[in-house]
Structure 1
Amino acid sequence: MRMNEPAALPRQRAGGRIVNAMTCDVEDYFQVSAFAPFIPRESWHSRECRVEANMERILALFGEAGVKATFFTLGWIGERYPGVVRAIVDNGHELASHGYSHLRASDQGRTEFAFDIRRSKRLLEDISGHEVVGYRAPSFSIGEANLWALDTLLEAGYRYSSSIYPIRHDHYGMPDAPRFAFYPAGPDGLLEVPITTARLMRRNLPAGGGGYFRLLPYTLSRWLMERVNRVDDHSAIFYFHPWELDPGQPRPDGLPAKARFRHYLNIGRMEDRLRQLTRDFAWDRMDRIFLDKP
């Protein structure tokens, strides 16, 4: 599989600024991969779910800011909270797939993965009445060892993926992957849109959100994204989760210190930072920026 077929993409601008992609991975606090060894999947149905209320806050925030975004949504969430799915599309956002039950692509074989991505796509389309063309693997779990997953996504009817993070991380990452949108198998295949990194001192630095956005000072995160827009002349891809705006979420017992630190760090500041981010950059949906979809 070729990894060097860059996408020839138009540079969308609004008021002279490059338009960036705002994305949200719609899952609840107990579904994050770092908690998987400590929160059994069979307990999910009995835990307090917070995703509905958190999504209402996010949609209201984006509505006030005039931001349209892409929501990579778990089929598990859509099946239990179809109102969340309908609210996403009713508010003019793009609905995309995050798989069904937050299983890492790297932990699945081809048959299991194909079933998972087709199940979630069909379920979300049935609920929303809209075609689902985008996918993001839980924990950015597509990399060198399972690039076959990109072919499987194309076969399932997806047009793009945002599942590769070109950094070094203890849970994920493919640091030698292209930093910007590319066609792994040529321009007639699937488009992969990696999470944004900034290139400094011959290293890729995370600049696309997630826990890094809560860890780093806001001014540094903003500078990294501005650098991608200004120096690289590319759109940035930002991502976050609904639980990151929820300081009142339950705190399960037995979590190790590292997992607690990563998950809860600066959660109380996240909503204000996100609101500031909507003012500091121009934003739109993934499909409109990278597929040139109206």
Structure 2
Amino acid sequence: MNPAPSSALARRNALTVDVEDYFHVSAFAPHIARDSWDSLPCRVEANVDRILGLLDGAGCRATFFTLGWVAERYPALVRRIAAGGHELASHGYGHARVSGMSQAEFMHDISRSKQLLEQLSGQPVRGYRAPSFSIGAASPWAHASLQAAGYRYSSSLYPIRHDHYGAPDAPRFAHYPDGRQGLLELPVSTIRVGGHNLPAGGGGYFRLYPYRCSRWALRRINSRDGQAGIFYFHPWELDPGQPRQHGLAWSTRFRHYLNLGRMEARIGRLLHDFEWGTIADIFPEQP
């Protein structure tokens, strides 16, 4: 069974934000020690406030997959997200890749972040997104663990081929990973061209390709597939003034810093060109 939004919602899309700071990025892990995070200049609060302003101006609501590490240090920000009518969801606590955790460590991480976000916001936290889309063959217990921890859905798969993440053989649209009704998986959007899945759901690809490519892809998903798109971006992607890291591989530097100065305008166009809602809005029939 592959659940889908109703026909009335099929042309609306789910807008999601992965709330993390620039130094949380997995590609920076070899260059920025985890125990140095608290000593680095944080920019996530100001960047999320900019996003909240953009969304409010466009009359849009989004799902904010928020790190527990951020929530613990900026509780007022969590409350502002909730007060704006947005959906709060979990991005785990400390941006650790699921593939690098044991099942027990994963349960502790997802339970800790869920409890923290619920206490701060006063609203239930139903959704989870794995850092770096890191649920895969190395963590076959992940979806069952999420359900056991009280989550209703995951948006942790990106059905593309990528050197750091990706599940190219996963279903492209909403599905139940265990084959029966339970935890719902909502993959980030792709389009199918020439027998291959191509990215259509944001991230660095949205900054790399001309805007018209993303607009075309989302329209194709809405019209040809009759499905809602699931799009994501990060607060640091709207921040060209963030501290620059040194010693990065050219590919990491290119992916991270490309077109940061153009991102805010592109998001503005995206908000204008499509109808958006939270995951809870678009997929209301979560088990």
Give secondary structure in 1 for the equivalent of 2:205. Answer: helix
**2:100 counterpart residue number:** 107
User: In 2, distance between residues paired with 1:11 and 1:69?
Assistant: 20
TM-score (norm 1): 0.95
**1:144 counterpart residue number:** 137
Gaps of 5+ in 1: none
**1:11 counterpart residue number:** 7
For residues 65-124 of structure 1, give each alpha carbon's deviation from its aligned partner in whole angstroms, at most 9, with x where no partner exists. 000000000000000000110011000000000000000111111000000000000011
User: In 2, distance between residues paired with 1:229 and 1:245?
Assistant: 26
User: In 1, distance between residues paired with 2:68 and 2:121?
Assistant: 12
Structure-to-structure mapping, 1:145-224, within 5 angstroms: 145-224=138-217
- How far the C-alpha of 1:9 sits from its partner, in A, is 3.4
Letter of the aligned partner of 2:34 in structure 1? R
**1:230 counterpart residue number:** 223
Q: Is the 8 A contact 1:11 1:235 kept in 2?
A: no
- How far the C-alpha of 1:187 sits from its partner, in A, is 4.1
Letter of the aligned partner of 2:69 in structure 1? W
Gaps of 5+ in 2: none
- Aligned: 1:251 with 2:251: no
User: In 2, distance between residues paired with 1:291 and 1:63?
Assistant: 22
For residues 244-292 of structure 1, give each alpha carbon's deviation from its aligned partner in whole angstroms, at most 9, with x where no partner exists. 0001100022222111110000000000000000010010000121134
Structure-to-structure mapping, 1:238-277, within 5 angstroms: 238-277=231-270
User: In 1, distance between residues paired with 2:204 and 2:197?
Assistant: 16
Q: Is the 8 A contact 1:52 1:81 kept in 2?
A: yes
Q: Is the 8 A contact 2:65 2:90 kept in 1?
A: yes
Letter of the aligned partner of 2:80 in structure 1? A
4+ runs of 1 displaced by more than 4 Å?
Answer: none
Tell me the percent identity: 62
Q: Is the 8 A contact 2:65 2:88 kept in 1?
A: yes
User: In 2, distance between residues paired with 1:243 and 1:8?
Assistant: 31
User: In 1, distance between residues paired with 2:28 and 2:50?
Assistant: 24
**2:15 counterpart residue number:** 22
- How far the C-alpha of 1:185 sits from its partner, in A, is 1.9
For residues 119-171 of structure 1, give each alpha carbon's deviation from its aligned partner in whole angstroms, at most 9, with x where no partner exists. 00001111111110000000000123323100000000000000011110001
Give secondary structure in 2 for the equivalent of 1:71. Answer: strand
Q: Is the 8 A contact 2:90 2:127 kept in 1?
A: yes
**Residues 229 and 287 of structure 1: CA distance in aligned 2, closer, same or farther (over 3 Å):** same
TM-score (norm 2): 0.97
